[in-house]
């Protein structure tokens, strides 16, 4: 029982409240200080983390709403360790960049930024299903205000669409979660939403199937994956770039993380039942996202659709239900976040030098006067397209290994996505950095502030490319355990089925 996670969790919110109380001039620095402290704390946890253990560490477990069986239960293991670190890492540069931009009503803006960090951290830390949903939904509130209040274009429409899409999924998940909690309660027992408890209890296979479907709906919308990505274009166009970096880099991971944390261990039969469907969705997302990324003119949308493809890879890795695939997925979750955040920050820098234009057709020729910017962009581009030597390469390779193991055909189709990623990312890089200078472009190199925000992220990307083992060794134990849990049922069934046939006669009248 420790208080460390609670401190990390509520530090940003506290900073936001204090900042908002202190006034419009100070609020940004207080919130920035909060994010830096969170990062420091998260790094301490990362160093202190016991890599060999698959169990939860730094557990906080308290009663919250006893009547409904909801507990305030937080914990860290290999699955969410790097998600927490990613959140802490991503918030610092984004807040930093935001600090030096002018915002109307800064108190509300920075309070929302801080609240968003608390909500995302909470979703990653929660070890109670209901608590997870609380934070999952709470995330929407700050983003609703951030997009609607400080976005561009048709922002109100965009933010409404975003919230309705996401909440439609997550409210259905809420219904599924309540059903899971109630139906798994043994006679006379106390209802519980604690994940550890739910893993012990069980519900019938038929129930699991539809509950898994509700959860998948929520997570696929959030990710976003192919048929449920309708909110993406509007939202990505309207969101302020700093917020978009967080939205795309960190928020999208909450959904896929939910599969590993909740769906696989708690509802193994249901997960196996839909495995094929989810893999097909993932493969479709890879192809669809890659093709659309190639045909977009807006740089943001290129990244948006490439994210759909990347998240398709992650879901493929998870539902290959294979140790390697899941490890690759967990690794890719981190990598994608680390790549997308600087990518959007760079797009913001580029837009500043092109009179606000983010159209591929109108950009170009920036590299000549901005070599540092071009170099940073190139490194990030290589990481995104999973160049050998980058961490993303390792991640995607693991995912594909996992897929080849069991689902060879899907794996082969998915690997086309790797090639396509190269095509669309290099296209963006060429069209913005090289070629003839576009009409609105006034190139100058990256400034000290933006460099301070982007360069450390790029350094982390490079470092992970050199030494991916740092992540893999810490995530391995927990990931393998979750996959084991998901496969345990199927293994038992397979083992049981032939044995049963041999020893006992089939019951008469059972066959039509």
Partner 1 sequence: MILPLADVPAPEIDYRELSPIMATVGGSIVVLMVGLLRSPFARRTLVPALTAVTLLAAIGLTIWIWEPGDREPIIVRALAMDTLTLGVSILFFVSGLVTIVLSLRSDAPREAGHGEYYSLLLGTITGMVVLAGAENLITLFVGLELLSIPLYVLCATELRRRTSLESGLKYLIIGSVGSATLLYGLALIYGAAGSTQFSGIETAIGERVGLSDPLLLTGIALAATGLAFKASVAPFHQWTPDVYQGAPTPITAFMAVATKAAAFAVFLRLFDSTLGLSQLQWAPALAALATATIVIGNVGAIAQRSLKRLLAWSGVAQAGYLLAGVVVASELGLRATAFYLAVYLLMNAAAFAVVVARERVSEHGDDLASLELLGRTQPWLAWPMTIAMLSLAGFPATAGFIGKFYLIDASVAGDYTWLGIVIVVGSVVSLVYYLRVVAVMWMGRYEVELPGLPRRRVKPVAGWSPEADARAQPEVAAVAIVFAAATIAFGLAPDPLFDAARDVGTALSNLR
Residues of the shown chain interacting with partner 1 in the complex, contacts defined by CB under 8 A: 65-68, 105, 108, 130, 133-135, 137-138, 140-141, 144-145, 148-149, 155-156, 159-160, 163-164, 167-168, 171-172, 174-175, 178-179, 181-183, 191
* Nearest CB to partner 1, comparing residues 197 and 322: 197
Please report the sign of the dihedral spanned by the C-alpha atoms of residue 337, residue 339, residue 342, residue 346. Answer: negative
Q: How far apart are CA 408 and CA 402, in angstroms?
A: 9
* Nearest CB to partner 1, comparing residues 106 and 342: 106
* Nearest CB to partner 1, comparing residues 158 and 320: 158
Question: Taking a C-beta distance cutoff of 8 angstroms, is the pair 199, 262 a contact?
Answer: no
Min dist CB 173 to partner 1, Å, is 9
Min dist CB 137 to partner 1, Å, is 5
- For the record, the structure tokens of 465 come out as 């490319």
* Nearest CB to partner 1, comparing residues 122 and 233: 122
- For the record, the structure tokens of 430 come out as 């060429």
Min dist CB 274 to partner 1, Å, is 18
* Nearest CB to partner 1, comparing residues 119 and 370: 119
- Quick one: how far is CA 53 from the chain centroid? 23
Min dist CB 67 to partner 1, Å, is 4
Burial class (CB in 10 A: 0-12, 13-18, 19+), 294: middle
Min dist CB 160 to partner 1, Å, is 5
Which residues face 390 on adjacent strands? Answer: 388
Min dist CB 235 to partner 1, Å, is 14
H or E element that contains 72 = strand 70-76
Give the residue among 226, 215, 290, 285 at the shortest CA–CA distance from 257. Answer: 215
* Nearest CB to partner 1, comparing residues 181 and 265: 181
* Nearest CB to partner 1, comparing residues 158 and 241: 158
Min dist CB 164 to partner 1, Å, is 5
Taking CB atoms within 8 Å and a gap of at least 24, the contacts of 24-33 are: 24/105, 24/106, 24/107, 27/106, 27/107, 27/110, 27/111, 28/95, 28/98, 28/99, 28/106, 28/110, 29/99, 30/110, 31/95, 31/110, 31/111, 31/113, 31/114, 32/92, 32/95, 32/96, 32/99
* Nearest CB to partner 1, comparing residues 203 and 472: 203
- Quick one: how far is CA 481 from the chain centroid? 21
Min dist CB 60 to partner 1, Å, is 17
* Nearest CB to partner 1, comparing residues 182 and 409: 182
For the chain, give the number of residues. Answer: 512
Min dist CB 26 to partner 1, Å, is 19
Q: How far apart are CA 174 and CA 129, in angstroms?
A: 9
- For the record, the structure tokens of 406 come out as 């069991």
* Nearest CB to partner 1, comparing residues 43 and 156: 156
- Quick one: how far is CA 437 from the chain centroid? 35
Min dist CB 355 to partner 1, Å, is 25
Question: Which 3-state string (H, E, C) describes 443-469?
Answer: CCCCCHHHHHHHHHHHHHHHHHHHCCH
Burial class (CB in 10 A: 0-12, 13-18, 19+), 216: buried
């Amino acid at each position: 029982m420790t208080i460390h996670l609670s401190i990390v969790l509520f530090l940003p919110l506290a900073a936001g409240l204090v900042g908002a109380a202190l006034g419009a001039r100070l609020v940004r620095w207080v919130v920035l200080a909060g994010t830096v402290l969170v990062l420091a704390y998260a790094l301490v946890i990362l160093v202190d983390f016991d890599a060999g253990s698959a169990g939860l560490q730094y557990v906080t477990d308290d009663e919250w709403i006893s009547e409904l069986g909801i507990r305030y239960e937080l914990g860290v293991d290999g699955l969410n360790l790097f998600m927490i670190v990613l959140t802490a890492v991503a918030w610092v540069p984004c807040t930093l960049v935001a600090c030096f931009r002018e915002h109307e009503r800064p108190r509300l803006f920075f309070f929302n930024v801080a609240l968003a960090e608390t909500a995302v951290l909470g979703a990653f830390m929660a070890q109670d299903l209901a608590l997870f949903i609380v934070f999952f939904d709470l995330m929407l509130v700050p983003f609703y205000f951030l997009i609607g209040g400080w976005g561009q274009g048709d922002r109100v429409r965009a933010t409404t669409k975003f919230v309705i899409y996401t909440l439609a999924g997550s409210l259905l998940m809420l219904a599924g979660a309540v059903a899971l909690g109630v139906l798994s309660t043994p006679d006379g027992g106390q209802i519980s939403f604690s994940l550890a408890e739910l893993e012990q209890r069980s519900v019938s296979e038929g129930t699991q199937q539809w509950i898994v479907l509700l959860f998948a709906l929520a997570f696929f919308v959030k990710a976003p994956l192919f048929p449920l990505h309708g909110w993406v274009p509007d939202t990505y166009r309207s969101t302020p770039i700093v917020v978009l970096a967080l939205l795309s880099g960190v928020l999208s991971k909450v959904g896929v993380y939910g599969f590993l944390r909740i769906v696989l261990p708690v509802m193994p039969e249901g997960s196996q039942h839909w495995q094929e469907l989810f893999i097909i969705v993932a493969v479709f997302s890879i192809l669809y996202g890659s093709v659309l990324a190639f045909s977009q003119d807006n740089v943001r949308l290129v990244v948006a659709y490439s994210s759909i493809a990347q998240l398709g890879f992650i879901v493929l890795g998870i539902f290959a239900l294979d140790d390697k695939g899941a490890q690759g997925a967990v690794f890719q979750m981190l990598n994608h976040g680390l790549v997308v955040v600087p990518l959007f920050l760079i797009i913001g820098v580029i837009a500043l030098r092109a009179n606000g234009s983010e159209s591929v057709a109108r950009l170009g020729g920036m590299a000549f006067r901005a070599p540092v910017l071009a170099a940073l962009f190139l490194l990030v581009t290589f990481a995104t397209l999973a160049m050998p030597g980058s961490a993303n390469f390792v991640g995607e390779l693991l995912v594909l290994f996992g897929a080849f193991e069991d689902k060879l055909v899907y794996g082969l189709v998915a690997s086309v996505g790797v090639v396509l990623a190269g095509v669309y990312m290099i296209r963006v890089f060429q069209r913005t950095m090289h070629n003839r200078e576009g009409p609105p472009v006034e190139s100058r190199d990256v400034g000290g502030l933006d460099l301070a925000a982007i360069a450390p992220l790029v350094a982390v990307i490079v470092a992970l490319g050199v030494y991916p083992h740092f992540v893999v060794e810490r995530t391995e134990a927990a990931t393998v355990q979750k996959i084991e849990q998901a496969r345990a049922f199927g293994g038992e069934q397979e083992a049981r089925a032939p044995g049963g046939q041999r020893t006992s006669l089939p019951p008469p009248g059972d066959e039509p």
